[in-house]
Chains A and B, each alone.
Chain A
Amino acid sequence: MFQRKSPGTWQTANRPVLATTEPTLIRYLLAGVAMLFVTLFLLAPLAAVFAQAFSEGIAVYWAALRDADTLASLHLTLMTAAIAVPLNLVFGVAASWSIAKFEFLGKSLLTTLIDLPFAVSPVISGIIYVLFFGLHGYLGPWLAAHNIEIIFAVPGIVLATVFVTFPFIARELIPLMQAQGTEEEEAALSLGAGGWQTFLRVTLPNIKWGLLYGVILCNARAMGEFGAVSVISGHIRGLTNTVPLHVEILYNEYNFVGAFAVASLLTILALITLVVKSFAEWKFKQELHAIRM
C-alpha cells in the first residue's frame, strides 16, 4: 500500500533512498488525508443517492421511475441532448479546424470567447435568453404576435443547453489538432484528395478519441444542466420539465424517495460518463503521446 511510484530507483543493499519520497509514516498520513477528503466530499454523496433512492424498497423505486411525469421529463431531456450535442459537435469541429489548422489575427481572442460559458453563471446563461425572447424581452412582442413560444417552452430549453455546453467539444479538439499540425492533411491534399475526403480519412481518425471524450462530457452536461434550464423552463409539469428539474419538483414536494430515484438515473449516467471518459482519456493520451514522439 502507498508505495512510492518507481521502486526501480532504489539504491544500495537494503536501504531505500528517501531522496525523492517521504518517510513511510508521512506517506500513509498524506494518503489517509486524501482518501478521507475524497470519501467525505465525493463518495458519501454518491452513495447517499442510492441509499436514499432504495430506502423504501425496490418497488417504490420502480414506481417513482414509471411515473408519467418522470417519463415525460426523461423524454424531454433525451430530446434536448439529441439536438444540442450534434449542434455543438459541428461547432466544435468547425471551430477547432479553423483555430488549430490556420494562423490568423484574433485567434487567441476567439479561443477565449469559446470559454465564455465556463465563466458565466448558469443562471445568467438563462437570463440572457429571457431578456431576448421573453414577453418583456426584445423579440417578445413580435414572437407573441406570431404565436412562437421560446421561453417556457422546448426551444428555450434547447437554446440554454446549447449555450452551456458548446465549449466542451471545441476545448478538447483544439489542443489535440494543434499538436497534430497540418503535415498529414497537406500530404493528402497534394496527393489529390479533396478537402472533405482529407478531413474524413486523415483528420477524423486522428482525433476520434478526443472527439468521443468531448462528446461524452458535452452530453453529461447537456442532460444534467439545472441553473440555465431552470430559469428558462417555467417548470411546467410533463411539458417543460427536464430530468434535473423534475428532481427539484419532487424534492420540494417532500417526495424524497421519488427525487432520489430520479436522481439515481442521472447518477448512473454520470458514472457511465466517468467510465467512458477514463477510457477515452487513456486512448487520447496515447494519441497525444504518439504525436509527440
Chain B
Amino acid sequence: MSSHRVAGKGRIDTTRPVSFTFDGRRYSGAAGDTVASALLAHGVHLMGRSFKYHRPRGPVTAGSEEPNALIGTRRGPGRFEPNTRATVQEIWQGLETTSQNKYPSLKWDVGAVNDAGYMLFSAGFYYKTFMWPKSFWDKVYEPFIRAAAGLGVSPSEDDPDRYASRNMHCDVLVVGAGPTGLAAAHSAALAGAKVVLVDEHAEMGGALLSDPDVQIDGAGAWTWLASRLAELRALGVRTMTRTTAIGYYHQNLVGLCEKLTDHLPDLPADTPRERMWRVRAKRVVLAQGALEKPLVFHGNDRPGVMLAGSAQTYLNRFGVLVGKAPVVLTSHDSAWFAAFDLADAGAKVQAIVDTRDSVRDDLRAGASARGIEVRLSHTATGTSGRLRVKSLRVAPLRADQVGAATEIACDAVLMSGGWTPSLHLFSHTKGSLTWDDTQTTFLPKDTPEDCHIAGASRGLWGYEAALVDGDKAGREAAQALGLKIAAGRFEVAQDRTGSGVSHRELPSDRSPARSKAFVDFQNDVTAKDLRLAVREGMRSIEHVKRYTTNGMATDQGKMSNINGLNIAADALGKPQPQVGLTTFRPPYTPTTFGCFAGYHRGSHFEVTRKTPIDGWAEAHGAAFEPVGQWRRAWYFPQPGESMDDAVRRECRATRESVGIFDASTLGKIEVMGPGAVEFMNRMYTNPWTKLGIGRCRYGLLLGDDGYIRDDGVIGRLGQDRFHVTTTTGGAARVLNTMEDYLQTEWPDLDVWLTSTTEQWATVALNGPNAAALLAPLVEGVTLSDDDFPHMSCAECTVAGMPARLFRISFTGEVGFEVNVPAPMGLRLWELLWERGRQYGITPYGTEAMHVLRAEKGYIIVGQDTDGTVTPYDTGMSWAIGKKKPDFVGMRGLARPDLQAPGRKQLVGLLSEDRSKLEEGAQIVFDPNQPVPMKMVGHVTSSYDVGTSGRPIALALVEGGHDRMGEIVHIPMPDRTIAAKITPTVFVDPDNARLKL
C-alpha cells in the first residue's frame, strides 16, 4: 500500500497494480488511477515547473481544468505527447511520463532564477523590455524569447497513430454525465427520444463519483449510479466516456473528441487513437457542471495547495489522501464537506479557516464532532515550504483589518473560493449571459440554438436540485420533439447543499507589490499583474487579458477568468458586467491536431490528380511539379543532366524533330445544344458563328470587368457542339462561370455543359516530324496543309482508337493534339513513343512547354496576366469580335480606366548583358531616380534555356506597346540590369514553321 492510499476507499482496483515511470523513476498505482492520483498516493505533489517563473507546482485540480500538472507522455517511438494533464491521463503498465519546464531537474531548476526576478517579469514585460536597440531583435531578443517560450517540447517524429472521423445524428445530445446529465438523459430517453450521453471522464457519474455518501432513492450514490446507467443503456441511450464535447457549432452541430487508446497498455491493431464525432443533434442538453475557484493569496501556488473539491475527489474516487495534516481554507460551504471526508478517512485536519463570519450550524457541528478547529473571519496571507507547502499563515479579519497572523503547520492546503458554472459550450452558441451578484458569477440567459442548460452549469447547487433540473431539461428537450413524459421524482438524503461568498485577492498584511498571489497558474499571472495592467491604461477586459495573458493558457482560464474579472473590475472601479467576460472559444480542452485532421494526412491530405500517362513519366525519370491539384511531368532528366540541360535538350529536340507532351490535364468542357453557338458568342470574346465545323479558334474568356480570366483552343465539332479547352488550373472555375451565366442570366439558351477533362487523354506531338510520325496512324483525315490546315479539328480514328484530333500549336511548331478515351491514353502514348524512335522522339515536360510558348509570345493566364490585364494589354485585340452586340467583358473593356493611356502592356524584354532576368523583378524607366523609385511594371516570364540563342523575357510595362526599342532598367540587389523592349515573339514571327 502506498503511503497516502486509504484502504477501502475509491473506485480504483488495487488488486490490479500498474507500474509506470515519472522522470525515470518507477511508481506503482492501481487500475483506474490517473498519473496525478497515483503520484499523490505516494505523497508526490511536485509534478512540474511553471511557465514563466519556473515555480515548483503540483496538481491543483483532479480534472481537465488542471493548469499545473502538465506532463509529457511517451509510448515508444513517435508516440510522445507534451502538455498532457496528469489529472486526466490514466496510467497503464509501462507508461513513461516526464515533467516539463525544468533544467536540469524538477527539484533543482536553473530557470527558477526568473522567480527571484519576479519584480522584473511583470505584466507587459516583453513589450517593455525588448524594445531597443532594433539591432538586438534578430540576434539577441528573438532567440531568447523563442527558447524561453512554449510549454513542453513538441514531438519531432511522425505520428504513427491513426485518427478517425464520424458523423452522428440524434434527438438529444446530453453533455456531461453527472447527476444533471444522467437525469436529463433518463427523462428524454423515457419519453422515447434517441439520446446520446457523453462525458470526458473514464467513468460516468460526475460529482457522484466523489460523493458516495449521498443517498438517492434510498440507495448510496454509487449503487444508484450503477442502476441508473444500466437503465439508460436498456433504454437505448448511447453512452460515451472519455469523450469531450470540444465545440458547439451552428445549428446544433457539436464536435466530440473520443479518446480510445490513450489508457490502454496495448494498442489494438484496428482501433484509431481518437475519433472526431460531428454530432447533429435536434436538441442539446448542457450539463457540464461547475468548476471550483481557487482563492487568491500569496503563495497559493505552492505544491500541496489544491482545490478542496479535488481533494475530495482524490479521496473518494481514487482512495488517496492528498495530505495527512491538511488545512482547509474556504469561502464556500462545500469545502467543509471535503474536510469532513478527509477527517473521516484518517487525516488530521489542522483547521477549517473560513473567511466568513458565520456558517451553518450543521457544518460547525460536523467540525466539532470531528474535533476540527474552526477559524471564522480569517484570511490567509501566505504559505511556506519550498517544494511542498509546510504551513499556512492566517490572520483574523476585523472590519476588513488584518489582525496578527499565526502559522498553521500542514502538508496540504485545501482551498475553495466557490464555484463557477461551466458556460464554455453555452458561450460557443453565442448565448447571452446575465450577471448574478449573489453568486458573483455569470449565468446563462438566452441562446439562439436548440439548447437547454441545466444543473450546476446554470448556478444550481446540491444533488437534488441538479437531478430535478436535469430531469426537467431532458423532459423539455423531448417535448420540443413532440414527446411527452411526466416529471421524475428523486428522494435525496444527505444532500450536500451549500453557498458561499466570493473574493478578489484575500485581504493581506503583505505589501501588494511583494505579493505573489496567483490568478492564472498556467501563465503565471498574479493579482498584482492585473492591477498593474489597469494602472497602465488597459480598460477593456480583452486588453487586460492580452496584456497580462490571463486566461490565455491551454486551460483557457477555466480557473482564472472569474477571479481575473473580479480583480480587474475592482481596479477599474466598475461592476463586473460592465467590464465583461472574455470570449470562450472551442476547443473546450486541448485537442490533438490528429483528431482534427482525421484521415486527411499524408497522401490523403490533398487529392493528387494523375493523368493516364503519369506512370510512364515516373518510370522514365520525370521530375514532377504540382499544377493545381495535378502533378505534371516537369522535365525528363537523363543521367547526369541538370534541369537546365534537360529542358534545353527537350526544347531543341522539339524544334528540330518531334517532341511528345502529355496535355491531358488541360480542362475540357463539352458545350452542346441548339443554343451552343449563341452561348459561345456571349461567353467568349471571339466570334463563333462563322467558325466552320472542323475548325478551331483560340478563345479568350473575360470577366464582366473586362479582365482576362482564361483562354484555350476551342474546336467546333458540329453545328451545336464545341470542344472547349481551358487552362489546367482554371477548368473548374470556368465551368462554374459558364454554369452561372447559363443558369441565371441566360436561361433562354438551350445548352448543356459537361466537364470531360478526365474522360479524354490528350497527347501532343510537336515538331517538324510530327505529321510524318502521326499520319500513318490516322484514319479518316489526311494530314496535309490543304486537307487539315493549322487550326483544324476532326473526329477520326488514331491507331484504331476513337479520337478527336486537333492541329494546333502551343510551341510554334507543327502540332497535333490527339484526344483518345482516357483508358486508351497510355497505349497511344507508348505506340507513338515506339514509332517515334526513328525520329528521335523526345518527351518534354511543362518547363520546356513554357519556354517554347514564351519564345512565340503565347501567354499563360495567371503568369503573364494577373487579373488586371485586358486583351488590349496583351496585344490580343485580334481575339475580340468587334461586331458582336455583347459578350462577357465587352462593356467592361469600355470602362474609362481600361481605355486610359499608360496601362501596363505585355512586351518582350532582352537584357543588354544577356543575363537572365528574374521573374517578378520590378522595372523602372530611370535607374538614377531617388529611392523609392517609380515602378512601371514587372517581368512575368523569363528563360535562358530556349532555342532563340539568348535569354528572353516577357514583361508588363507601362505604355509598353509604344516603347518598342526603348531601354528599361531592372534594379536587383547587386546591380541594375538594362533591357530592351521588343515584340513578344522571339522565334519565327511569320509562323512559317506552322506549315508542313
Q: Do A and B bind each other?
A: no
Residues of A whose CB lies within 8 Å of any CB of B are: none
Residues of B whose CB lies within 8 Å of any CB of A are: none
